[in-house]
Amino acid sequence: MNKYLIVALMTILVACGGTKTEEKEAEVVVSGPDVSHHSASISKVFDAHGGYDTWAKMNQLSYKIGEQTTLVELKSRYTRLESAEMTVGYDGEKVWVNPPVENADRQRMRYNLMFYFYSFPFVIGDPGITYEDIEPKELMGETFNAVKVSYGDGVGDSPKDNYIVLSNPETNQMQWLMYTATFGRGESSDRFSLIRYDNWQTVNGVTIPKSIKWYQYSEGEVGDMRFERVFDEVAISEEVPTMDKFTMPEGAHVTAEPSTE
């Protein structure tokens, strides 16, 4: 996602009788996203949703869930969630809550949780992530290609989390996500939760969900739907958001770092 610029080189030559300035023509080289760690199988999933290159061009994503609005700067993941009760922000260093409501520290886990699930599959294209093709899995009578996703040590607040992306073997479109939850714990888990992705929309070339649904899941069996999150007023663009939206206001509460003890 980083862009590398080779700027103009100006050479100043000093000669007898005066000063001569020689300016070479500027050469600007803009690279694409770093996809060297992407596996062939996960790249097919990205391509089925508009392509990782398309996603990497975008600088902001916004949506509304119920009465809460979310704005995310996609390169550094600065975040602002706003509702009638409170505003939660991430300024690149701190997660803050304003006003300092009771149990404000819980927002450390919650502030980017829905963004993360909403931004699949692209969010797992980040550096520090590895992919492993595993045996296809069957859910509700259908068989899906399966890619296990894991994180390097120190990547994110929950590096012990694991994900399994299940995609349609014909279209490569993502259909299910299996995931473990380890936030605030020091060890990994083999207990998976399950989300269904079957309601898609294309916004500015990127195919992202209209809604996602959590299902009961135990011993390989899918149960009833637990709940659904619907995303309204979705916008994604190359425009960089106004960065002061993420600045912590005076008097806001700074959430505590997650404990792994």
177-223 confidence digits (pLDDT tens): 999 875 444 445 578 999 999 999 999 999 999 999 999 999 889 99
Identify whether 205 is part of a domain. yes
Average pLDDT score over residue span 142-162: 74
The parent domain of residue 52 ranges over 37-254
**Number of domain units in the chain:** 1
- Helix H, strand E, coil C: the string for 11-32 is EEEEECCEEEEEECCCCCCCCC
Question: Is the model more confident about 182 or about 246?
Answer: 246
d(CA 227, CA 214): 5
Q: Tell whether 184 is covered by a domain.
A: yes
| H or E segment and range at residue 214 | strand 211-218
Q: Could you say which DSSP state residue 250 is in?
A: T
Pick the closest to residue 140 from 175, 172, 171 (CA basis).
175
Residue 60, pLDDT above cutoff 80: yes
pLDDT at 49: 98
* pLDDT value of position 127: 87
User: Closest Cα partner for 58 from 68, 48, 45, 49?
Assistant: 49
Domain-located, residue 13: no
What pLDDT, on a 0 to 100 scale, did the predictor assign at position 256? 86
Alpha carbons 145 and 154: distance in angstroms, whole number = 28
Q: 150: which strand partners?
A: 130, 162
Least confident residue range of 19-28, 31-40, 103-112, 135-144: 19-28
- Residue scoring higher pLDDT (137 or 20): 137
Give the CA dihedral 116, 70, 206, 227, nearest 10 degrees. 60
Give me the mean pLDDT over the 84-92 stretch: 94
Quickly state the pLDDT bin for 142 (edges 50, 70, 90): very high
Residue type, 215: Y
Question: What's the mean pLDDT in 142-168?
Answer: 79
Residue 174 lies in a domain: yes
Distance CA 94, CA 88 (A): 10
Give the pLDDT score at 159.
Answer: 47
Q: How far apart are CA 77 and CA 26, in angstroms?
A: 31
pTM of the model: 0.80
Residue 244, classed as helix, strand or coil, is helix
Q: State residue 210's pLDDT score.
A: 97
Give per-residue pLDDT as tens, 2-53: 433 333 323 333 333 443 334 434 343 445 678 899 999 999 999 999 999 9
| Terminal-to-terminal C-alpha distance of the chain | 34
In this predicted structure, what is the pLDDT of residue 11? Answer: 32
Instruction: Answer yes or no: is 32 within a domain.
Output: no
CATH number at residue 137: 2.50.20
Residue 116 has pLDDT above 50, yes or no: yes
* 28 domain residue, yes or no: no
- The least confident of 18-27, 50-59, 151-160 is 18-27
- Please give the mean pLDDT across all residues of the chain: 84
For residues 71-98, average pLDDT: 95
Q: Note whether residue 3 is domain-resident.
A: no
